[in-house]
Chain A
Amino acid sequence: GAGVSQSPSNKVTEKGKDVELRCDPISGHTALYWYRQRLGQGLEFLIYFQGNSAPDKSGLPSDRFSAERTGESVSTLTIQRTQQEDSAVYLCASSLVGSPSNQPQHFGDGTRLSIL
């Protein structure tokens, strides 16, 4: 597709439920990132995928968070037993292969997650 696509755009769920967020990166982009943006704040890094390498999970806030990526395409971010503090916009970004320093990250519109 032309840009990074995320779904759903909005998700409202009850505390304790599991949620799954989807990201479809730009075709040809092998690097994929998940970030979280709490209301009025900057973005916090969650996890990074690069090709077939082991993902960098250093930003995941707890073991309730996990993410997978199928090859070099779609990624899903799963939050288990959601808590109210998980309410945020979850942003996905992708970039071209090569040193991540040289390539800008292109962001999707995000999924706005609200935990009741």
Chain B
Amino acid sequence: AQKVTQAQTEISVVEKEDVTLDCVYETRDTTYYLFWYKQPPSGELVFLIRRNSFDEQNEISGRYSWNFQKSTSSFNFTITASQVVDSAVYFCALLNTGRRALTFGSGTRLQVQP
């Protein structure tokens, strides 16, 4: 069985603060893929990153960075110097090879106050 847990339901920060969104997953597969999606107030899901289970290199894209640790089954997402436009619900998702659909966490609502 596969499961994704985002324990933080809601986080509120002030602009320019750094914030980390936690994601813990469960799977028995050795090959799998992890994703982060952003869902702004407008509702559409925006793809942010995909990471396969064999690549534990951390990744940085502008103010976004991701820390993948297989030892703790975590794939955390950090926003540096947060901005109001970062306010959204962020979903972590897991895809096992052989399955076709993403397993989503329940999401973390990030509110960035000006």
The reply on A41 being an interface residue by CB < 8 A is: yes
| Contact mask for chain A residues 97-116; partner B; CB cutoff 8 A; 1 contact, 0 none | 00111101111111010000
Contact A109 B107 (CB under 8 A): no
Contacts A42-B91, A42-B106, A43-B102 given: A104-B97 contact, CB under 8 Å?
Answer: no
Q: In the complex, what residue of chain A is closest to B97 when comparing beta carbons?
A: A101
Contact B42 A105 (CB under 8 A): no
Select which of A42, A59, A104 is within 8 A of B105 by beta carbon.
A42
Contact B105 A100 (CB under 8 A): no
| Contact mask for chain B residues 19-52; partner A; CB cutoff 8 A; 1 contact, 0 none | 0000000000001110101000011111100101
- Taken together as a complex, chains A and B put the C-alpha atoms of A101 and B102 apart, in Å, by 9
Select which of A56, A100, A106 is within 8 A of B47 by beta carbon.
A106
Contacts A42-B106, A45-B102 given: A105-B47 contact, CB under 8 Å?
Answer: yes
Count residues of B near A (Cβ-Cβ below 8 Å).
26
Contacts A42-B106, A100-B95 given: A89-B43 contact, CB under 8 Å?
Answer: yes
Query: How many interface contacts (CB-CB < 8 Å) are there between A and B?
Result: 59
Chain B residues at the A interface, C-beta cutoff of 8 Å = 4, 31-33, 35, 37, 42-47, 50, 52, 91, 93, 95, 97, 100-107
Chain A residues at the B interface, C-beta cutoff of 8 Å = 31, 33, 35, 40-45, 48, 50, 56, 59, 89, 91, 93, 99-102, 104-110, 112
Cβ of A105: which chain B residues have Cβ within 8 Å of it? 47, 102
Contact A41 B106 (CB under 8 A): yes
Min C-beta distance of A26 to chain B, whole Å: 12
Min C-beta distance of A39 to chain B, whole Å: 11
Most buried by A among B43, B52, B101, B103: B101
